[in-house]
Amino acid sequence: MIELTAPLNEEKVRSLKVGDMVELSGIVYTGRDAVHKWLHEGNTPPMSFKDGVIYHCGPVVLKKGAKWVVTAAGPTTSIREEPYQAGIIERLGVRAVIGKGGMGEKTRQACQKFGCVYLHAIGGAAQVLAEAIKEVEDVFGYEQFGSPEAIWQLRVEKFPAVVTIDAHGNSLHKDMEAASSAKLAELYTQIKK
Amino acid sequence: MNSTQQKKLLEAFIEIIRKTSTELPKDVIESVRKGHGAEDKGSRGDYALGIIQKNIDLAKLKSQPLCQDTGSILFYIHYPKKLEHDAVAKVIRKAVVAATKKGYLRQNSVDSITGKNSGTNVGPGSPTLHLEPWSKDVFEVRLMLKGGGCENVGVQYSLPDGRIGAGRDLAGVKKCILDAVYQAQGKGCGPGILGVTIGGDRATGYLTSKEQFLRKLGDRNPDPVLAKLEDECLVEANQLGIGPMGFGGKTTLLGVKVGVLNRLPASFFVSVSYMCWAFRRQGATVTSKGEIKKWLY
């Protein structure tokens, strides 16, 4: 298990390899469909994402007294942000993207070029991951984007994930797709009429 | 419906939503456990299923949503015919609003034109109510919460399909099913469960594919041809090696359930719905006075 602390630096990010299991502590920012489209359109968030971590997540957040409390917070499917992610990594200096399901070629190349990694969290594991979220520090765009789509600034401790795209051009998703494609072709030849 | 009855029914529906969102049915828990046992110790698949099992226990213990995407709210209900349809629908919508306030459901209903979230989970198309009156004096309520990640990887084929070389026969159907699993990779939060319809039109095909999820995982399709197809597809899909979360491994699917509808001579659809491992499905019989009598799963 590799311990990571956000904000990250390029050297640490480039030391990670596909398959590494990590535990992340520090600040992460949620951002999903609406935020990625908005960032892609050239908008800049009030908080700096430099060396930061974006988490593809639309949490369940309840207000208890004056405080926000996250009660469920697993990752959402990342591939929907594929058209936007590479540009956001480059422009805002993001060092890690947490999500699920993996990302495509553009993101893989951006990770390699700009020093970023994709951390795969366990989809659906909203309670285990909410346990790792210790505090809601701030929220931006609650009205504009709605609760699940807002940018939530979260402090996490030992958030578990697996590196599935590293900064050396490797992608577990690309490898898995190739391997399962070959197996599919083999199974097809065995299907009898 | 008098006000006492309304109040009791409202409580019963909130409880059904709570239980569905926070506790997986026994057949799914058992299947996840078996899948976990099949993965090599220390592998990424073992790691993923370990966290998944921990999450299942934690959600129940804390009575909080198993997955933050509490999904499309799909009710399948038989209700006593002496009650008015609109009155029943009203109570359910109220229960959905209340369950959202309590945090059992995420604010999950968005206006497709303006992008505005209703904040209550009520709006055009939400919740989805399949309401049928019957002569019994009890409700039979089934509820599924189906998240967007798995819904997005559902796919409908129109045969013949030249891309995958699928013709209008069972061999073609099998190609579609395996292709759907390959296309989904880890994006649908596997290990997944497939609901499939052979035939129907575009709407009834998907509708019936989702109804397959109301079946228990360990059941046997009464049609021997479909039972065989289900078994074979499950074994072969698991040979693809995609594994839990697309991390690689032996458990890509936990089940395949296939239904069949007649089709037009011109059409041959194969509709595939994908359900994630966070397979939230519960059901209960509820008396007309609003007492939950028995859980169905």
Q: Are residues B7 and B140 in the same domain?
A: yes
Residues B108 and B217 in one domain: no
The answer on pLDDT for B181 being more than 80 is: yes
pLDDT at B275 over 90: yes
Residues B162 and B142 grouped into a single domain? no
Reply yes or no on whether the pLDDT at B60 is more than 80: yes
Interface mutation target, options A37, A127, A163, A164, chain B, most CBs of B under 10 Å: A127
B81 part of a folded domain: yes
**Residues A151/A31, Cβ–Cβ less than 8 Å:** yes
Please indicate whether residue A36 is annotated as part of the active site. Answer: yes
**Which chain A residue lies closest to B243 (C-alpha atoms)?**
A176
Tell me whether residues B67 and A34 touch, CB distance under 8 A: no
Flag whether B83 is in a domain: yes
> Is residue B178's pLDDT more than 90?
yes
Q: Hey, are the CB atoms on A176 and B152 less than 8 Å from each other? A: no
pLDDT at B1: 86
A192 CB-near residues (< 8 Å, 6+ apart): B171
Contacts of B296 (CB under 8 A, 6+ apart): B140, B142, B282, B283, B284, B285
Q: Do A19 and B44 touch (CB under 8 A)?
A: yes
Q: Is B18 inside any structural domain?
A: yes
- Range A80-104 average pLDDT: 97
Determine if the peptide bond prior to B160 is cis (ω within 30°). yes
Q: Is residue B31 part of a domain?
A: no
Residue B254 lies in a domain: yes
Residue B119 is classified by DSSP as S
The range of the structural domain enclosing residue B164 comes to: 149-275
B135 with B156, same domain: the answer is no
Length of chain B: 297
Residues B124 and B192 in one domain: no
Question: Before B80, cis peptide (omega within 30)?
Answer: no
B215 belongs to a structural domain: yes
Q: Does residue B15 sit in the same domain as residue B98?
A: yes
Contact A120 B247 (CB under 8 A): yes
Determine what percent of chain B is predicted with pLDDT higher than 70: 100
* B103 has a pLDDT exceeding 80: yes
Average pLDDT value over all residues in chain B: 97
* Pick among A71, A158, A180 to test the B interface (most B CBs inside 10 A): A180
* Number of independent structural domains in chain B: 2
For chain B, how big is the Rg over CA atoms in Å?
20
Are B10 and B156 contained in the same domain? no
Among the four given CATH numbers 3.40.50.1220, 3.20.130.10, 3.40.50.300, 1.10.8.60, the one describing domain A2-190: 3.20.130.10
Residue-wise pLDDT tens digits, A61-84 = 988 999 999 988 999 999 999 999
Asked whether the beta carbons of residue A192 and residue B277 sit closer than 8 angstroms, the reply is no
Q: What number of C-beta contacts closer than 8 Å exist between A and B?
A: 167
* CA contacts within 13 A on the Cβ side of B78: 10
pLDDT of B65-96, one tens digit each?
Answer: 999 999 999 999 999 999 999 999 999 999 99
* Shortest Cα–Cα distance, A70 to chain B (Å): 10
Regarding whether B168 and B131 lie in a shared domain, the answer is: no
Instruction: Name the residue of chain A whose CA is nearest to B232's CA.
Output: A191
pLDDT reading at A38 higher than 80: yes
Average pLDDT over residues B123-143: 97
Q: Are residues B269 and B159 in the same domain?
A: yes
User: Are B210 and B112 in the same domain?
Assistant: no
Asked if residue B12 is part of any domain, the answer here is yes
pLDDT average, residue stretch B215-232:
98
Residues B167 and B264 in one domain: yes
Local confidence band at A60 (pLDDT 50, 70, 90 cut-offs): confident
CATH number for the domain spanning B109: value is 3.30.360
**Residue A193 pLDDT > 80, yes or no?**
no
Task: Tell me which of A77, A103, A147 to substitute to probe the interface with B (most B C-beta atoms closer than 10 Å).
Answer: A77
Same domain (yes/no): B226, B257: yes
Instruction: Answer yes or no: is B170 within a domain.
Output: yes
Where does the pLDDT of residue A192 fall: very low under 50, low under 70, confident under 90, or very high at 90 and above? confident
CA–CA gap between residue A61 and residue A136 (Å, rounded):
9
Which of chain A's residues have a Cβ under 8 Å away from the Cβ of B117?
Answer: 146-149
Q: What is the mean pLDDT of residues B253-279?
A: 98
Give the separation between CA B46 and CA B31, rounded to whole angstroms: 14
List the beta bridge partners of residue B129. B75
